[in-house]
Amino acid sequence: MTVEEVHRIYTLTNSVHETLLDAEATKLLRRFMELRRSGDKNEAEQYLEIYEKCAEFLQEEQRTFTQDEVDELCDLGLPYDLEQDLSKRMLSGQRTDISLGLYRIQGKCRNEIEASSDFRDFRDAIRDKMRRVPK
């Protein structure tokens, strides 16, 4: 990874939202979390997976959204209240309503990732790496 790329990603880490919109930054965050893990995935990792799965579902506009997709998110650790909300939206059959539910889930995931020590540590690790790079 180039110095410019590290600087770009560090700038993105001022906002969890911007970080998650950037594929390379998200990949780096996921890898950072994996390397620090000992045992099961923590909540921040689960929320990252849920966020990415919602993004995948939002991309597939022609796909029929069914209980299988809700179950897939539940298997990743989707909280019960969000599961219930999404199930109700799915039963309406309205793609716009389902998309709003997926965006709501992404918002919750973003907030949880931002509140986690993992994201702060990720940002700090990038900052420390930048300090070691000669200017």
Per DSSP, the chain holds a count of helices (H) and strands (E) of 8, 0
pLDDT at 56: 94
Domain that includes residue 44, residue range: 3-132
What is the C-alpha to C-alpha distance for residues 125 and 28, in angstroms, rounded to an integer? 11
How many separate domains does the chain show?
1
Is residue 118 over pLDDT 90? yes
pLDDT at 134: 67
Q: What is the CATH number of the domain that holds 81?
A: 1.10.167
Percentage above 70 pLDDT, the chain: 98
pLDDT at 38: 83
How many CB atoms neighbour CB 107 within 10 A?
13
Q: What is the pTM of this model?
A: 0.89
pLDDT-based confidence at residue 90 (cuts at 50, 70, 90): very high
pLDDT at 135: 63
Is residue 70 over pLDDT 90? yes
Q: Do residues 49 and 118 make contact, with C-beta atoms less than 8 angstroms apart?
A: no
